Amino acid sequence: MTGERVGLAFLGAGTVGAPTIEETVRLASSENLEIRGVLVRDLSKQRAFDLPVTTDFEQIINDPDVKIVVSLLGDESVEHPYILEALRRGKFVVTANKEIIAKGAPQLFSEAQNHQVGLLFEAAAAGGIQVVDNLINRYSHNTFSSFAGIVNGTTNHMLTEMAKGKDYQTALQEAQEAGFAEPDPTNDVEGYDARYKLSIIASLAFKNYISPDQIHVEGITGLEVGDFEYASRLGYVIKLIAFARKVDGELELWVAPALAPTDHPLAKINGSLNGLFFDANPIGSFTLQGRGAGGGPTASAVLSDILSARDHILNQSTPRAVNLSEPLTVKPFDRVRNRHFIRMVMSEDPGTLSKVSGVLGNCGVGIHAVEQEEDKTDGKVAECVFTTHESEEGQIRAMVEEISRSDISAQVKSVLRILPK
């Protein structure tokens, strides 16, 4: 490619920034890009690239030849004002920060539109899978009815190992040693990372801004080996699912461990892979899968956005505006209906199972089946699993509370949703 070169600058040269910068350096000449500078925290650190570095954001933002700001700092409190300033200065912005997009999408999209520039964030949702571009452009004419996704590679890697019989702590330690989990894994294992991604994907699919605060979230820290054993026996696998479904003009939204039938497309997404399962009209059901995180997939997504921004600048155009105007409300979580998997330990005393079943019935929870393995009892205490018909989450919560405060010798160990086939 020959012609005008487009200047860009990077904010951040860390885990995400460094491989992206290196790949951009490799492609810069052939793709008509000129890297004007890199904002870093430490000027003395040795780096694999030979580019101008600075600790002064003003030096970056005041350069009239910087047309694209690539923000990869990974710190929402610092990065958000930088992105806002870049948009207001009429610069295209590329970011991988899911928290910034999830929390501030309406303001950021408005600033970009008002200043006739683009805010591109492919890497913020599912890395190399390219779901953002698909939802904004290629699938925008579709009406989406549901989405279920595995959007966090760390937890999917851990759950894949736990399905082999490893406990939570062992799976976490091995994931950390392999580089799949951070030293502080809270954002991943508590579901917060997946909640940000669901906020972005659901907002784009259903064309209505969904704040992370509107999404119910549960993590994987309470899962035990017994959950996986029973799930397997019943024909399911356990995955951390980001879920959205439109029912009568209301959106049901949650992130939580759930049982996927073994013939569900997401059941086959293992290790650190991500998988996204959509249902829409007229396209029908479809699945996107691939690596959602890591240096390579993230660099690929960021570079795709950089090249898109370059093309818009050279063509004096702007990306398609993101539509968030559909009239939708978020259904209160207590009214969301799901099938459930409920694992309990209870006394073997005569009548205990009947009493527990009575509590479920009194709370409006219909029992589909009861499962118990012979080796899960010592003659005094038994472990069993109830699978239910569809019930409201509020009914399930009321059932758990009722059992905990009653004199029934039973304890609820886990409550998991069951994905529809």
Please name every residue paired with 254 in a beta bridge, in sequence order, or none if there are none. 216, 243
pLDDT beneath 50, residues of the chain: none
Q: Where do the CATH 3.30.360.10 domains begin and end in the chain?
A: 140-290
The domain 140-290 having CATH identifier 3.30.360.10: the answer here is: yes
Q: Where do the CATH 3.40.50.720 domains begin and end in the chain?
A: 6-130+295-315
Query: Do residues 112 and 88 make contact, with C-beta atoms less than 8 angstroms apart?
Result: no
Q: Is the pTM of the predicted complex or chain greater than 0.85?
A: yes
Q: Give Cβ neighbours of residue 235 (< 8 Å, ≥ 6 apart).
A: 261, 262
pLDDT at 376: 61
pLDDT at 144: 98
Catalytic (active-site) positions: 197
d(CA 247, CA 251): 6
d(CA 393, CA 22): 48
Would you identify the CATH topology of the domain 333-418? Alpha-Beta Plaits (3.30.70)
Query: Do residues 20 and 128 make contact, with C-beta atoms less than 8 angstroms apart?
Result: no
Question: What single letter denotes the amino acid at residue 421?
Answer: K
What would the pLDDT profile of 279-335 be if each residue is shown by its tens digit?
A: 999 999 999 999 877 788 889 999 999 999 999 999 999 999 999 998 899 999 999
pLDDT at 89: 97
3-state secondary structure of 322: coil
What would the pLDDT profile of 168-177 be if each residue is shown by its tens digit?
A: 999 999 999 9
Phi first, then psi, for residue 242 (nearest 5°) are -100, 120
- Measured between its terminal Cα atoms, the distance across the chain in Å is 48
Alpha helices in 337-415 (DSSP H): 352-362, 393-405
- CA 233, 237, 241, 244 dihedral sign is negative
d(CA 237, CA 378): 27
What would the pLDDT profile of 380-389 be if each residue is shown by its tens digit?
A: 888 999 999 9
As given in the structure block, the two tokens for residue 318 are 């702007």
CATH number of 6-130+295-315: 3.40.50.720
Q: Where do the CATH 3.30.70.260 domains begin and end in the chain?
A: 333-418
Query: Do residues 180 and 268 make contact, with C-beta atoms less than 8 angstroms apart?
Result: no
Count the Cβ atoms, other than its own, within 10 Å of residue 290: 17
